[in-house]
């Protein structure tokens, strides 16, 4: 079983407690000018639906796709969106060609697969489901900065849990590997999760997206939509257009 088939379960909201609706609301407020309300938005790897909910509150028609049954159940229980969310693999988006006006992929929800070919397939699928003139908003970590400033080990407490994280970059410098140990402070129960992320550079991402037909419109370095700066910016936020 692949790591991403088990990692996004009941412990995910514990480890990433700070990724909540309030954070999403602040981000969406900055991003709104990039989208047209007349066109539906697909949130690819929508998780618990916090971005879906924020765009829905702004009057957008929304769809979400995620592999995690647990997080999609959280989405339904918290926000609803019945009939608008789908469980599935992002390499096979269950929508017809030219269906949506925009696709968003937030909070480094990409690079999970073990081959570049599989990650490229995701890009092709995004291009396929977009209408002509549609935009792809892609939000990823700045791999160059992460590699240069890697925090190899951290520990914190959150919601009655102790979270111990160890990080390393593999021998060939392509993958960030994170091992997470989560201890329930009340019961003492310990769970362990491994995450593996392909560290795509900004240039590698641009080459990938252009290879499937996208035109890169602009690249931001963070949620405040400041210009991207190599080695300095926290994020790589790419706005790509299907012409």
pLDDT, tens digit (0-9, with 9 covering 90-100), for 73-86: 999 999 999 999 99
Q: How far apart are the first and last CA of the chain?
A: 38
Q: How many CA atoms lie within 13 A of 104 on its CB side?
A: 25
Q: Are residues 207 and 92 in the same domain?
A: yes
Q: Are residues 107 and 16 in the same domain?
A: yes
| Domain CATH number, residue 62 | 3.40.50.150
Q: Are residues 161 and 68 in the same domain?
A: no
Q: Rounded CA gap, 196 and 201, in Å?
A: 16
Q: Residue 36 has what pLDDT?
A: 85
Q: Are residues 35 and 129 in the same domain?
A: yes
Q: Residue 1 has what pLDDT?
A: 86
Q: Are residues 173 and 70 in the same domain?
A: no
Q: Rounded CA gap, 62 and 114, in Å?
A: 29
DSSP state letter for 108? S
Asked if residue 219 lies in contact with residue 139, where contact means CB atoms within 8 angstroms, the answer is no
Domain final residue, candidates 161, 179, 197: 197
Q: Are residues 69 and 24 in the same domain?
A: yes
Asked if residue 133 lies in contact with residue 239, where contact means CB atoms within 8 angstroms, the answer is no
Tokens of 189: 């129960």
Q: Are residues 114 and 12 in the same domain?
A: yes
Q: Rounded CA gap, 50 and 229, in Å?
A: 28
Q: Rounded CA gap, 108 and 103, in Å?
A: 14
Give the structural domain span for 224: 4-142+200-241
Tell me which residue has tokens 């407490």.
Answer: 157
Q: Are residues 118 and 66 in the same domain?
A: yes
Q: Is 137 helix (H, G, I), strand (E, B) or coil?
A: strand
| Alpha-helix residue ranges (DSSP H) falling in 115-235 | 116-129, 143-148, 202-211
Q: Residue 107 has what pLDDT?
A: 94
Q: Are residues 40 and 97 in the same domain?
A: yes
Q: Residue 81 has what pLDDT?
A: 96
Q: Are residues 12 and 112 in the same domain?
A: yes
Q: Are residues 67 and 173 in the same domain?
A: no
Q: Are residues 76 and 17 in the same domain?
A: yes
Q: Residue 234 has what pLDDT?
A: 96
Domain count, the chain: 2
Domain final residue, candidates 180, 197, 214: 197
Q: Residue 169 has what pLDDT?
A: 97
Q: Is 198 helix (H, G, I), strand (E, B) or coil?
A: strand
Report residues of the chain scoring pLDDT below 50: none
Q: Residue 37 has what pLDDT?
A: 86
What percent helix, strand, coil does the chain show, rounded to 5? 30, 30, 40
Q: Rounded CA gap, 36 and 18, in Å?
A: 28
| Domain CATH number, residue 179 | 2.20.130
């Amino acid at each position: 079983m692949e790591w991403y088939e088990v990692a996004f379960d009941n412990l995910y909201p514990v480890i990433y407690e700070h990724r909540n609706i309030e954070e999403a609301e602040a981000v969406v407020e900055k991003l709104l000018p990039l989208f047209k309300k007349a066109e539906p938005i697909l949130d690819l790897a929508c998780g618990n639906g916090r971005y879906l909910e924020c765009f829905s509150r702004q009057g957008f028609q929304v769809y979400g796709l995620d592999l995690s049954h647990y997080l999609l159940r959280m989405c339904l229980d918290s926000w609803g969106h019945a009939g608008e969310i789908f469980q599935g693999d992002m390499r096979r988006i269950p929508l017809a060609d030219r269906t949506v006006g925009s696709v968003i992929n937030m909070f480094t929800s990409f690079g999970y697969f073990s081959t570049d070919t599989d990650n490229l397939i995701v890009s092709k699928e995004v291009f396929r489901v977009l209408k002509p003139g549609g935009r792809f908003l892609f939000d990823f970590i700045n791999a160059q900065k992460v590699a240069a400033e890697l925090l190899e080990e951290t520990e914190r407490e959150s919601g009655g849990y102790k979270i111990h994280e160890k990080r390393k970059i593999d021998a060939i410098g392509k993958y960030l590997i994170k091992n997470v140990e989560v201890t329930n402070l009340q019961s003492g129960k310990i769970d362990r999760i491994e995450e593996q992320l392909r560290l795509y550079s900004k240039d590698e991402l641009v080459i990938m997206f252009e290879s499937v037909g996208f035109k890169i419109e602009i690249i931001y370095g963070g949620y405040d939509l400041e210009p991207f700066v190599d080695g300095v910016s926290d994020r790589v936020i790419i706005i790509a257009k299907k012409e």
